[in-house]
């Protein structure tokens, strides 16, 4: 991450990582092991005490099956945020089902956006 990243940005990043980890139903220890970092380091990141490097952020994102952009808080466009939040909050879906639905939804949106851009409309 950038050296000039504010404490608020670090805290927000940590909160997003923790939320995604909880949605994936993974322990801190599991995510740390999958990302190749120590459990205490992940804890510090989640609490906003340390800012991860870009490489570590990508490893955490991969462990959580999301993009690094999602962890940075770069959410998809307005309408899709509501859909993704609805999927994530559905108690009848497993973490794996949520991830699969979100991935499929985002992939379909990307195809549609590319087609529209190709025709000159959005």
State what percent of residues in the chain have pLDDT above 70. 86
Q: Is residue 18 within a helix (H) or strand (E), and if so which, with residue range? A: helix 7-23
The closest alpha carbon to 37, from 75, 11, 64, 6, belongs to 64
φ, ψ at 53 (rounded to 5°):
-70, 165
- Tell me the pTM: 0.61
Residue ranges of alpha helices (H) inside 24-122 are 28-35, 39-46, 54-64, 68-72, 78-89, 95-119
Q: For residue 105, is pLDDT > 70? A: yes
Confidence of residue 60 (pLDDT cuts 50, 70, 90): very high
| Residue 5, pLDDT score | 63
């Amino acid at each position: 991450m950038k050296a000039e990243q504010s404490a608020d940005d670090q805290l927000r990043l940590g909160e997003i990582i923790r939320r995604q980890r909880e949605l994936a139903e993974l322990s801190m220890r599991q995510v740390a092991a999958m990302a190749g970092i120590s459990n205490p380091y992940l804890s510090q990141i989640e609490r906003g005490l340390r800012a991860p490097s870009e490489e570590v952020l990508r490893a955490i994102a991969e462990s959580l099956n999301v993009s690094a952009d999602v962890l940075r808080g770069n959410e998809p466009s307005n309408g899709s945020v509501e859909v993704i939040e609805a999927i994530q909050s559905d108690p009848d879906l497993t973490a794996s089902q949520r991830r699969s639905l979100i991935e499929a939804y985002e992939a379909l949106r990307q195809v549609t956006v590319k087609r529209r851009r190709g025709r000159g409309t959005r």
